[in-house]
Structure 1
Amino acid sequence: MRTTANFALRALAASAVCGMLLGATASAQQGSAPPPTVTVVTLEASDVTLTAKLPGRVEASRMAEVRPQVSGIITERLFEEGKPVAAGDALYKINSASYAAQKAAAEAALAQAQASLNSAEREAARQQQLRSRAVTSQQVLDDALGARDVAAAAVKVAEANLMSARIDLERTTIRAPISGVTGLSQTSEGALVTSGQATALTVIRKLDPVYVDVTQSAAEMLRWRRAGAALEEDNQVVTLRLADGELYEHAGHLSAAEPHVDEQTGTILLRLDFPNPEQFLLPGMYVEVEVPQAVVRNAILAPQEGVTRDRRGRPVAMVVTPENTVETRALDIQRDQGAFWVVEDGLNPGDRLIVEGLQKIAPGMTVQAEERPAATDQAAPDSEG
């Protein structure tokens, strides 16, 4: 009995000693654990082009509604719907019989007026000779000269009537006023059309280049321009994104800006032009354009994943100091630029911004930093310099 008790006491003591040894070993291992690893970006200053993303719709650079200038029956359609035409190409034919007859009548009237003028000129010359010999009176001469002038005026009227008849006859062939792509025909052979009718026969649109009209807040434009140097219009290369999110392969330019602020909306109308050789952009299509606004000199671009918010909603970031400790910075952010924030205050060139591993660190903690490509390298498409 006593032997059994002694054995139990020895076993308990041995277990206690083992537990103490294991605890000491764990404490030693914990105390020698390496600092947590974080991923950092070393920030650099660069000139950044600020851009604005604005919605808009595609417009044809030129558009002409084709209407008849004379009345008559359509006898022929001479174009294929939806196909390109050149300025001056024949589109429709109107029955020209009556207009050809009017032209013939005008030619006959001109010939008659010219004959009357010739007769009046001969009579005026004869009366001048008679008057020079005092054979006739001055009144008779004046009447002959007046008749000659009236006949000359009648010739001019007849010539104008003939010109008008020729124009009307030419207008029986309806031609394309501009080069472009035709729409659907709104009439057919046998239809009666009238001069200047409200309904267009078809519409021609020039699709290369195309315009994109967008509006921008005047206040926002002023704010961005004050924040940086304004761009020259000739240097404003504009990119376009389609409704499906794809980037359009051709860059555009700012062609004009309305020198007027809309009183109702407080916006300015901007007109952009884009090459469209494949006619991929069609009028009415919804797009989003990215328009350069200003250049910020020596700007700091901070990756958005490295910026968080404190309890009051203010932007903050954590950086690794030269001593490899974590430091919190309060930031003053101007705006976003793609996947980055344009930081006005709080970060400096050379700061190592923590972008990964934020969940396992705290201010003052010692960390091990691993470098990632710099923010300005990743933002190259939106930066200058």
Structure 2
Amino acid sequence: MTKNNLFYMLLLGSAALLQACGGNKKESAPSGNTAKNVSAFAVEEQIVTGYQEYPAYVVPLMETELRAEVSGYVTSISVADGAIVAKGQKLYEIDRTRYAAEVERAKATLAIAESDLERVNRDLGRYKKLAASDAIARQTLDYAETDLINQRAQVQSAKAALENANTNLNRSVIYAPFAGSVGISQVRTGALVTAGTTLLNTLSTSNPITVEFQVNERDIDRVLELQKSNASSGIEVRLPDGSIYGESGKISVIDRAIDRTTGTLRVRATFQNPQGKLRAGMNLTLRLANTSLDKQLVVPLRAVIEQLGAKSIFTISDSSTAVFNQVQLGTKFDDKVVVLKGLQAGQQVVVDGASNLSEGDKLSIQHK
């Protein structure tokens, strides 16, 4: 074989190899119109009974800080930490020795002042008789009348001092102003406390108890209806462990004004709490039952896409393509949610696979 023939055969083999490789590449190229697999659900209309949920926390009906009203050393503590107490029950005692002595001193001062008042009053009577016959100077009578006025003032001052001493003596014993439960004592026997400053303990009521939450402006009418009807059902709370508390509540207090910063209104619901399960400060979820008067549009929660606070749902066009819709949602219940705006009854919405879609994508649909 000549060199020319060999070169010619090599060229033919290379051309055939290039053609085969190019053909294979063209056949393996993916199609840009591949349909995406999704499942669909037809938008339904139905009467809805669901729950509107709000973050909430427990607030006692009454709560007060027990502070020392006089200074001194704590001589006794008559209640255990966390105990339930009755109204008027003795809780703490501060050293009474000094305050008892002040009471006795004030009594003695008052007795002297009253005795002096009687003497001055008798003197004035004699001076008046003498003045009637011009037996004494008019100035002497004037002085006697002035002494009587001053001595009356001394008696009033002594009475005020005695009342103040008695008040301090009474305040050296701290009693429960109402029935409730105390917390952990902030002082122990022998501690030095200062009037108006030292916190001894906190007392709060526990049964009944209130749960406080904030409602949006659009929910105010619903809350007002519940308060007027004095409804004892449809108001419940979910505990931190996820369970529903066994007692239903009643709307008891609605604040006078809307917070201009948040656009919300503060509301309190009252619950019976015989077992003490609801503790002051506990974080809960308050649920308000809401039954619609008319049929509402309902879709599965899985169909909703949330991005930066905006809610959207993909629907399916007649040509089986994805259509992007911004929506406004209402009451959630079970695994579904009410759609207030953005959809119409009978539309097909994408349930599974929506997170990977874009407007106009071709769809391969499986109906639910």
Report if the CA contact (8 A) 1:229-1:296 is conserved: no
2:260 counterpart (253, 258, 263):
263
Whether the 8 Å contact between 2:50 and 2:333 is mirrored in structure 1 is no
Q: Which amino acid aligns with 1:233?
A: Q
Give the counterpart of 2:250 among 242, 245, 253.
253
> Residues of 2 paired with 1:229 and 1:73: CA distance?
50
Partner of residue 5, structure 2: none
- C-alpha change, 1:50 and 1:231, in structure 2 (3 Å) is farther
Task: Tell me if the contact between 2:54 and 2:285 (Cα under 8 Å) persists in the aligned partners.
Answer: yes
C-alpha contact (below 8 Å) 2:301/2:337 kept by paired residues: no
**Distance in 2 of aligned mates of 1:334 and 1:308:** 9
SS in 2 for 1:88: coil
* 2:227 pairs with one of 226, 233, 249: 233
Residue pair 2:45, 2:345 contacting (<8 A) in 1 also: no
Q: Give the C-alpha shift of residue 299 in structure 1.
A: 2.5
Equivalences for residues 180-329 of structure 1 within 5 A: 180-197=180-197, 199-218=198-217, 220-221=218-219, 231-235=225-229, 236=231, 237-292=234-289, 296-300=292-296, 304=300, 313-314=313-314
Cα distance in 2 for partners of 1:68, 1:196 equals: 6
Mapped pair 1:338 → 2:337: no
Kindly provide the amino acid, as one letter, of the partner of residue 206 in structure 2.
Answer: L
Q: Contact 1:308/1:315 (CA < 8 Å) preserved in 2?
A: no
For 1:78 and 1:305, locate their aligned partners in 2 and report how far apart those are by CA, in whole Å: 56
What letter matches 1:242 in structure 2?
A: L
Q: CA deviation at 1:168?
A: 0.9
Q: Is contact 2:52-2:331 (8 Å) kept?
A: no
Question: CA separation in 2, counterparts of 1:72 and 1:111?
Answer: 28
Q: Give the 3 Å change call, closer, same or farther, for CA 347–112 of structure 1 in structure 2.
A: same
Give the Cα separation in 2 of the matches to 1:66 and 1:147. Answer: 46
1:74/1:192 contact within 8 Å kept: yes
Deviations 1:176-211 (A, max 9, x none): 2232111111111111111111x4111111111222
Match of 1:52 in 2: 52
Shift of 1:275: 1.4
SS in 1 for 2:280: coil
Q: TM-score, normalised by structure 1?
A: 0.66
Q: Helix, strand or coil for the counterpart of 2:243?
A: coil
Query: Do the aligned partners of 1:88 and 1:175 also contact (CA within 8 Å) in 2?
Result: yes
Partner AA of 2:153 in structure 1: A
> Percent identity among equivalent residues?
28
**Could you state the TM-score of these two structures normalised by the residue count of structure 2?**
0.68
Structure 2 partner of 1:105: 105
The corresponding residue for 1:10 is none
Relative to structure 1, is the Cα distance of residues 341 and 131 closer, same or farther in structure 2, using a 3 angstrom cutoff?
Answer: same
Q: Does the CA contact (< 8 Å) of 1:54 and 1:214 recur in 2?
A: yes
Structure 1 residues 154 and 240, CA gap change in structure 2 (3 angstroms): same
Say whether the 8 Å CA contact 1:333–1:341 is kept in structure 2. Answer: no
Equivalenced residues, count: 291
Q: Which moved more, 1:167-176 or 1:333-342?
A: 333-342
Render the CA deviation track for 1:145-179: whole Å, top value 9, x for unaligned. Answer: 11111111111110110111111111111222232
Amino acid at match of 2:246: E
Output one character per residue of 1:45-76: Cα deviation in whole Å (capped at 9) or x when no partner.
Answer: 75x56642001111222111111111111111
- CA RMSD across the alignment: 3.6
Contact 1:120 1:144 in 2 (8 A): yes
Post-superposition Cα deviations, 1:282-304, rounded to whole Å, max 9, x if no partner, equal 11212111125x76423257584
1:306–1:159 distance in 2 versus 1, CA, 3 Å: closer
3-state SS of 1:298 partner:
coil
8 Å Cα contact 1:231/1:295 also seen in 2: no
- The SS at the match of 2:61 is strand
- Asked if 1:75 corresponds to 2:75, the answer is yes
SS of the residue 1:146 aligns to: helix
> Secondary structure of 1:207's match?
coil
Q: Does structure 2 conserve the Cα–Cα contact (< 8 Å) formed by 1:100 and 1:169?
A: yes
Q: Deviations over 1:18-68 (max 9, x none)?
A: xxxxxxxxxxxxxxxxxxxxxxxxx9975x566420011112221111111
CA distance in 2: counterparts of 1:257 and 1:305, whole angstroms: 32
Pair 1:146 & 2:146 matched: yes
How far the C-alpha of 1:238 sits from its partner, in A, is: 1.4
Q: Note if contact 2:239-2:285 (Cα within 8 Å) is conserved in structure 1.
A: yes
Distance 1:52 1:181 in 2: 32
Q: Is the 8 A contact 2:120 2:148 kept in 1?
A: yes
Letter in 1 for 2:288: V
Aligned AA for 1:286?
A: N
Deviations 1:93-127 (A, max 9, x none): 11111111111110000000000000010011111
| Amino acid aligned to 2:109 | A
Distance change >3 Å, CA 133–CA 264, structure 1 → 2: same
Q: Which residue of 2 aligns with 1:370?
A: none
